[in-house]
Structure 1
């Protein structure tokens, strides 16, 4: 079942909840401003069987040894015990399939799972899902839901370059991109120095022709879709853009000449795996197929997985978050975008709610690709920096005209425009409808161009506008938009082929669209933040483009995880997560809050030399109506004995100890107690426990949160 959604390339759905009432959040794409409603028909179901999956089986079945690895170790799918238990699970699933053929002939099994969860995916074909529960050894039946994609100067913000200088560029590390495919022929992925690792490339059995979708960089080509004609080929550009941020080659020169400095992915020597779950332009994907992609990535031995996708998060059992957690238990570091439904609380989507994932919020970049437009207001000239549009709305020819501020629809022009705009450039406020609708309405009234004025502080954003829009369209900042039209006589001029690499003062500010916590389970998310606005990276066909969204923030963290995995090969997924959370930095221009950015903006160099690791790396007390205590364990990961000073705001929490003396490699435990007494009902209390070395030179932070019931 494939649903078409217009231009939904950066969409991630979320949930807004307040005071115990859960309401669906508006789902939208920061690049197109499109809202999309979920119209899933519920035709697919996941049937989980009672036996534990390979990743979680700790023994108990006669004749089969435990396959669960030690905490954080990576699952070896070639291990004889793993193979034996997999065969046992296969026989159990076979019994269920045989029953299904007898009792529900119309229903069809479309996927099998063993490593991350044990069960099958079923296309119901009209069968009542209650029937599916009646088969042998069924634990539960879960409805599949639809997920969608969540969509150079950023290196200085996440501080990864020092690792390159030290020789760490992700060499040998394999990163799964569970997304919309990777254009393996893009020059950003052409690195002759790489050798295909042993056992690769990997394609499905009987699909040797799909090796044409691989290279010495993109070493896996798989597709997960109900469409039998689907291939791993990248149709939309979302996955290719994500992949470029993770591991685009170092020193790549922008062929357009717009970016003055050379480009690089965060981990330029890492390998990429194409796990295509969106094998069409602007489509959604069922849970069961994304789950199959995660399962395949674990089986292929990928070290890191990036999931820039999402769907509404709801209380109760969540199939995909369970699979993400199990994949982390199997040793694969899971990086997930938080969602684009901010700035309201409780808008983090699934699978970003998964406890063991690294869930990523978005901050602004240090630049944007734009152009200068000339404004003459009452005889005085002023140049404004503007972001452009694509694939429609480009400035293809010099465009001049007097400016007209559109007054229709609260100045947003979503329901049409009454007045004649012939020969004019329309000034329209952002919000309430897509950029395509606004620009089309202006075009229909004879406008020769459109200037969209941003509705939030910060830089203007590159816009996705459909190709039916033939007139040029640009966006200016909110401040410039407020200034526009204050004079009695105002005109503008736009010049073609005048793209510029424009520096920004907005770097490290929290983006308005980034989803906030807590989750619908009242747990603390997101975990960290990275650059997710105006990110310049590869797109299908060989070009480069700017996109915005937490989709663009997550691959910065996936690349960082690859660097840390190369530099610290003994680190497990929870170690990488703890190091990134603990050493995160503050956002710019406001209070740094755990519910907005978790531990803060990642700092890869500091993470490499973290003075300690906390387990858990953050504390979620949940919804509380009485005193509650949680523990965290602190590990000394330095090369010498340390005495750590531990501090917290006493109005928010109390500690069992204000210091810990730990020898190299040793651990100690601290109790943290919170109390809602005297606090306002419904209030979110949050802060950081600060752990500092005795000399005061190094520090980590442990974010915590609780909501008063």
Structure 2
């Protein structure tokens, strides 16, 4: 076996590790998703005999390597021959890139490598040849074709870095037809609001990436006088058995001459990246070598420009016999300069490097995508994942693209057990049974980073309850200090017997609940005027199974009142008292159609809504101090869609209709003018 390790740093903080394993098929061993699969609980349903048999999964990607030996049946017939190549326009979606082959292998390989659901039937829809250029119209065609082919699940490990309404509409249509849609969150993290379509669709199951249950899933911590710093292990460093508690000493650039006159023995060295001159190259390996020679216990290198970086101790210019001796990490320039000031008076620090499988990958795209729902929904292993490759071998690869198929395969096992589950019920089960995950300092990851948590298939398989909705968002203000929502609970075995409901504490908000028949009513109450977005969870226990409901509470300085008469909404701004102008946007949560009105203290307007359902209300309220945002949910109960006027039914947005009206008026005026000249 020969291993080739590639480490690449991409713009925007995206990084990936790829280890390609060239394997002789004569070797007498079996490859497994032996880290990521068991880590999410796949062994439990497999021990019960569930393998995805009878379930169809559509993989919208770069195609599949139809010749891979793990994609053949025992009688040597190809298992994944169904689908369509939208790039070439034929029925043979042969992969020439490798991305789709890797995704399909995680789901359904059944040879030397065993996928999550090895007996599912894969339909491959090829929409890209290189995995980079992905035409949105081909994604839409593939989604529609998958629905026509009556697949049960669609896995989309690609997308666009923006909102794309037509893709979202295709996803909604698939879900309406009973198809579960799983989408990778994207690899544009760690910046916020980096999830695009189709992953940003509220009805899709959006999957971010965590590390994996492998020895290479390293994180690091640094604490100085109670202050926690974000530090990243450099490629080539190793874990340490115990945390290092020692003094930090600044050693300029950690070059040989930088240690003259300073004592770093038994201490942690802090150094700046690079050298004194802009063109001076000082390899990280050299910094580590000189720190080690002078007796240092660890090395911290801060950036010489804004932002974080991922350093490499092992590189093409290092000697073959070099192996890092002390733990070496990187940090931002901003925190490095802050640390330099701190160690002038307090230099004692605690430093650690250890494996942490549930750490969210830096590249994993983050929310928020909307003030009305949370994304991503959950996370799964997406770093150092073992899977099938283009050249009939196997490789280890990273990305949210490879987290999503863990979830798609898991859903296949759930559907094999209970084929009647709807897409919304599947999503509810996965969200409410996810495991809460923490960062390297044991603080819970926020919902914008990791959703509800890591998928726990064993717990999902044992689930007895389905919650609708499976997440809650409260909107409070000083004027509206409390709000109650109903969660409807369905017992999978027709039994609902809630034994306990508990909430994570928030200083300025308290919660209460009541259970009435098969409904759980949760009330949030504001106990001080602190504004902002706050996160908590409700933990619900039945038969020793603990479910979670992620909860976001938005507390605003502004407030509005919504009045309805025969589906016509009017709006009153209650706070701030000195408001001057408000823009009100009303969005249909199913169709995403938006309508906007503007009001002032002297000018009122209203909106007539014809379609029944939930609407998202956003009010941007302006006064002399700035603009305050208010968010509300509103349910229209009566369906008046048959009374909808023609303009209302138009697919054209309001602004486009106004422009067309102006053009039409100009054409009429010009026409009349020329007509008068003819007489």
Return the TM-score normalized by structure 2: 0.58
Supply the distance in 1 between the matched residues of 2:124 and 2:409 (Cα, whole angstroms): 15
The alpha carbon displacement at 1:557 in A equals: 0.3
Tell me the secondary structure at the aligned position of residue 367 of structure 1.
Answer: coil
Q: Which residue is equivalent to 1:393?
A: none
Distance 1:368 1:650, change over 3 A: closer
1:348 pairs with one of 195, 210, 228: 195
Match of 1:146? Answer: none
Of 312, 317, 328, the residue aligned with 1:480 is 328
1:189 to 71, 80, 83: 71
Choose from 99, 102, 105 the match for 1:244: 105
Name 1:31's counterpart in structure 2: 16
> What secondary structure does 1:657 align onto?
strand
**In the TM superposition, what is the alpha-carbon distance from 1:556 to its structure 2 partner?**
0.5
Confirm whether residue 365 of structure 1 aligns to residue 217 of structure 2.
no
2:619 pairs with 1:619: no
Q: Do the aligned residues in 1 keep the contact of 2:433 with 2:548 (CA within 8 Å)?
A: yes
Query: Of the candidates 168, 175, 189, which is equivalent to residue 50 of structure 2?
Result: 168
RMSD: 4.6
Deviation at 1:707, TM superposition (A): 3.2
- Which residue matches 1:322? 169
How many angstroms does 1:593 deviate by? 3.6
> Does residue 297 of structure 1 match 2:179?
no
Say which SS state the counterpart of residue 600 (structure 1) adopts. Answer: coil
CA distance in 1 between counterparts of 2:313 and 2:385 reads 10
Q: Distance in 2 between matches of 1:287 and 1:8?
A: 30
TM alignment of 1:554-573, pairs within 5 A? 554-573=404-423
State whether residues 237 and 326 of structure 2, in contact with CA within 8 Å, keep that contact through their aligned partners in structure 1: no
User: Residues 193 and 224 from structure 1, CA distance in 2 versus in 1: closer, same or farther, beyond 3 angstroms?
Assistant: same
**Counterpart secondary structure, 1:599:** coil
CA distance in 2, matches of 1:241, 1:462: 28
Q: Which moved more, 1:505-514 or 1:616-625?
A: 616-625
Question: The residue matched to 1:331 in structure 2 has which SS?
Answer: coil
Deviation at 1:353, TM superposition (A): 1.6
- 1:428, CA displacement in angstroms? 9.3
In the alignment, structure 1 residue 180 sits paired with structure 2 residue 41? no
Distance 1:519 1:596 in 2: 12
Partners of 2:419 and 2:510 in 1: CA distance? 36
Q: Per-residue deviation at 1:658?
A: 3.4
> Partner residue of 2:398?
548
Quote the residue 1:69 is aligned against.
none
- 3-state SS of paired residue (1:328): helix
Shift of 1:590: 2.8
Provide, for residues 418-451 of structure 1, a one-character-per-residue CA deviation record: whole Å limited to 9, x for no partner.
3579xx896699xxxxxxxxxxxxxxxxxxxxxx
Deviations along 1:310-361, whole A, 9 cap, x unmatched?
Answer: 33345xx722222212211111111111223333443333221211111112
Query: CA contact under 8 A between 1:277 and 1:289: conserved in structure 2?
Result: yes
CA distance in 2, matches of 1:172, 1:453: 53
In structure 1, distance between residues paired with 2:212 and 2:302: 16
Say whether the 8 Å CA contact 2:274–2:281 is kept in structure 1: no
Shift of the 618–269 alpha-carbon distance from structure 1 to 2, 3 Å rule, reads: same
Secondary structure in 1 aligned to 2:114? coil
2 CA distance for matches of 1:265 and 1:293? 23
User: CA distance change for structure 1 residues 193 and 531 in 2, over 3 Å: closer, same or farther?
Assistant: farther
Q: 1:623 to 1:428 in 2, by over 3 A?
A: farther
Contact 1:521–1:622 (Cα < 8 Å) also in 2: no
Distance 1:420 1:603, change over 3 A: closer
CA distance in 1: counterparts of 2:49 and 2:313, whole angstroms: 34
Supply the distance in 1 between the matched residues of 2:209 and 2:546 (Cα, whole angstroms). 23
Q: Residues 272 and 302 of structure 2 are in contact (CA less than 8 Å); yes or no, is this contact kept in structure 1?
A: no
In structure 1, distance between residues paired with 2:326 and 2:192: 24
Change (3 A) 1:678 1:420: closer
Q: Counterpart of 2:212 in 1: which secondary structure?
A: coil
Structure number with greater Rg is 2
1:580 equivalent to 2:430? Answer: yes
TM superposition shift of 1:592 = 4.5
Contact in 1 for aligned 2:185/2:364 (Cα 8 Å): yes
Task: Report the Cα offset of residue 540 of structure 1.
Answer: 0.6
CA drift of 1:459 comes to 11
Give 1:591's aligned residue.
Answer: 444
Structure 2 CA distance for aligned equivalents of residues 411 and 10 of structure 1: 16
Q: Write 1 or 2 for the structure with the bigger share of strand.
A: 2
Deviations 1:142-175 (A, max 9, x none): xxxxxxxxxx301221001111111101111111
Change (3 A) 1:271 1:231: closer
Indicate the structure whose relative CO is greater, using CA pairs within 8 Å and at least 6 residues apart: 1
Match for residue 690 of structure 1 among 539, 546, 567: 539
Give the corresponding residue for 1:523: 373
Structure 2 residue 550 is matched with structure 1 residue 703: yes
Aligned residues, how many? 453
Contact 1:190–1:217 (CA under 8 A) maintained in structure 2:
yes
For the residue of structure 1 that corresponds to 2:553, the secondary structure is strand
SS state of the match for residue 430, structure 2? helix
Equivalence for 1:438: none
Deviation at 1:698, TM superposition (A): 1.3
Q: 1:535 to 1:623 in 2, by over 3 A?
A: farther
Write the distance in 2 (CA, Å) between the matches of 1:641 and 1:365: 35
Instruction: Note if 1:603 corresponds to 2:456.
Output: yes
Shift in Å at residue 645 of structure 1? 2.5
**Are the counterparts in 1 of residues 505 and 536 from structure 2 also a CA contact under 8 Å?**
no
Decide whether aligned partners of structure 1 residues 698 and 512 sit closer, same or farther in structure 2, where only a CA change above 3 A counts: same
CA contact (8 A) 1:9 1:238 kept: no
Quick one: structure 1 residues 523 and 417, their matched pair in 2 at CA, closer, same or farther if it must change by over 3 Å? same
Find 1:268's aligned residue among 97, 118, 128: 118
Q: Report the 3-state secondary structure (helix = DSSP H, G, I; strand = E; otherwise coil) of the residue aligned with 1:306.
A: strand
